[in-house]
Chains A and B, each alone.
Chain A
Amino acid sequence: KNEVEQSPQNLTAQEGEFITINCSYSVGISALHWLQQHPGGGIVSLFMLSSGKKKHGRLIATINIQEKHSSLHITASHPRDSAVYICAPGVSGGGADGLTFGKGTHLIIQP
């Protein structure tokens, strides 16, 4: 079973700050999702990556497959970035049962 650790569990920051959320997992994977969930809302997949780095707007995700570690960065954070961020590494095979979910990082950006 893939053990997934996210840190920090909770993060409160001021608008404009650079945010980093970390994800470590125990089993070799094929790809990893970063998911965003707003209060009372559904889940949006921000990134799916299997190597290197991806950027979308103010969001950057990196992954180091050998070190079993991924990070999600938010530049120039904004109150609308307040949400729960969940990493979900997927093991080889690719089926939905191969996805394991972290407990999430609760991010609050204060104006």
Chain B
Amino acid sequence: AQKVTQAQTEISVVEKEDVTLDCVYETRDTTYYLFWYKQPPSGELVFLIRRNSFDEQNEISGRYSWNFQKSTSSFNFTITASQVVDSAVYFCALSEANYGGSQGNLIFGKGTKLSVKP
């Protein structure tokens, strides 16, 4: 069965600290895609990254970096030198190429609420 687990419900850090948000996924497909979305207090969903299952290269974008490890079925997200504006709920999501009945739609984790205090 497809499933995305974000074990950390809430994390609180002080500005400038590094923080890692964990994401573990389950899928039967060999071809799948992983995503991170940010939901700030205003409520919209902001796309951050998409990764396909054949590309295990880590990615860095400014203060954001992602660590994809197929061996542990994890796709963790690290924010370096966190800022107050990073405060949001972050969702990890999975989409399967062979659908498993889901038509390729997104399967979301429950989200991790990150609070960055000044």
**A and B are partners in one complex rather than unrelated chains:** no
Q: Which residues of A contact B (CB under 8 A)?
A: none
